[in-house]
């Protein structure tokens, strides 16, 4: 089961919930909601593992590119040593070896850029998905807190403190 399936189930739970008349609130089956949230918590590390696999794959591709560049450079050096005996041939070999080296560097850099782009794109998609899931979980919690607060009598109501945001520097 993937994270998107869990999100679909969470949305289904929301759609099956009973509305509270004259409000935008709904009554949600708490056990089902908490079960889905728990499953999402378990699933998120899998998404992080996938991102780590992407990074590992990128590193492997970069290593292969570097190895290919080194092999190409080695071949070019070997070839140039064989041609040292002839002046005209030596000049042509030097030019060709420089071209091969430059092409190998260009190929390696292109491969690095492509791998970096792929990693950035994949991690960005995962980041967006995780933010969306976090917002849905927060909305579910807020909805449950709102329902809980609506059911309490006014004189017994104790205001809940909003959870502190660790990125919020307004208190400092």
Q: What is the pLDDT of residues 71-103, one digit of tens each?
A: 999 998 888 777 666 677 667 778 899 999 999
Give a yes or no: residue 171 inside a domain: no
Give a yes or no: residue 157 inside a domain: no
The per-residue b/e assignment along 115-134, b for 16 or more CB within 10 angstroms, e otherwise, is beeebeebeeebeeebeebe
Q: 139 pLDDT exceeds 90?
A: yes
Q: 172 pLDDT exceeds 70?
A: no
For residue 166, name the pLDDT band (cuts at 50, 70, 90): low
Query: Considering only 35-39, 106-110, 150-154, which range has the smallest mean pLDDT?
Result: 150-154
Give a yes or no: residue 81 inside a domain: yes
The DSSP H or E segment spanning 19 is strand 18-19
- For residue 14, give the nearest of 143, 148, 129, 147 by alpha carbon: 143
Give a yes or no: residue 130 inside a domain: yes
Give a yes or no: residue 123 inside a domain: yes
Domain membership of residue 36 as a residue range: 3-18+28-147
Sign of CA dihedral 46, 142, 18, 147: positive
The pTM of the full predicted model, rounded to 2 decimals, is: 0.34
Give a yes or no: residue 161 inside a domain: no
Give a yes or no: residue 67 inside a domain: yes
Average pLDDT over residues 132-140: 92
Greatest CA span in the chain, whole angstroms? 102
Q: 60 pLDDT exceeds 80?
A: yes
Number of domains, the chain: 1
In the chain, the percentage of residues whose pLDDT exceeds 90 is 35
Give a yes or no: residue 156 inside a domain: no
- For residue 39, give the nearest of 68, 63, 8 by alpha carbon: 8
Q: 168 pLDDT exceeds 60?
A: no
């Amino acid at each position: 089961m993937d994270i998107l399936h869990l999100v679909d189930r969470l949305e289904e739970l929301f759609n099956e919930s009973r509305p509270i008349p004259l409000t935008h609130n709904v009554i949600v089956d708490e056990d089902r909601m908490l079960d889905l949230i728990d499953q999402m918590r378990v699933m998120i590390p899998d998404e992080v593992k996938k991102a780590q696999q992407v990074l590992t794959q990128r590193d492997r591709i970069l290593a292969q590119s570097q190895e290919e560049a080194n092999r190409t450079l080695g071949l070019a050096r070997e070839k140039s040593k064989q041609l040292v005996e002839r002046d005209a041939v030596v000049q042509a070999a030097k030019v060709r070896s420089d071209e091969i080296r430059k092409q190998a560097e260009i190929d390696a850099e292109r491969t690095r850029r492509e791998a970096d782009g792929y990693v950035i794109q994949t991690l960005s998609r995962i980041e967006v998905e995780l933010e969306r899931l976090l917002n849905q979980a927060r909305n579910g919690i807020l909805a449950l807190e709102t329902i809980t607060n609506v059911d309490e009598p006014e004189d017994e109501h104790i205001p809940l403190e909003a959870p502190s945001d660790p990125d919020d520097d307004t208190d400092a």
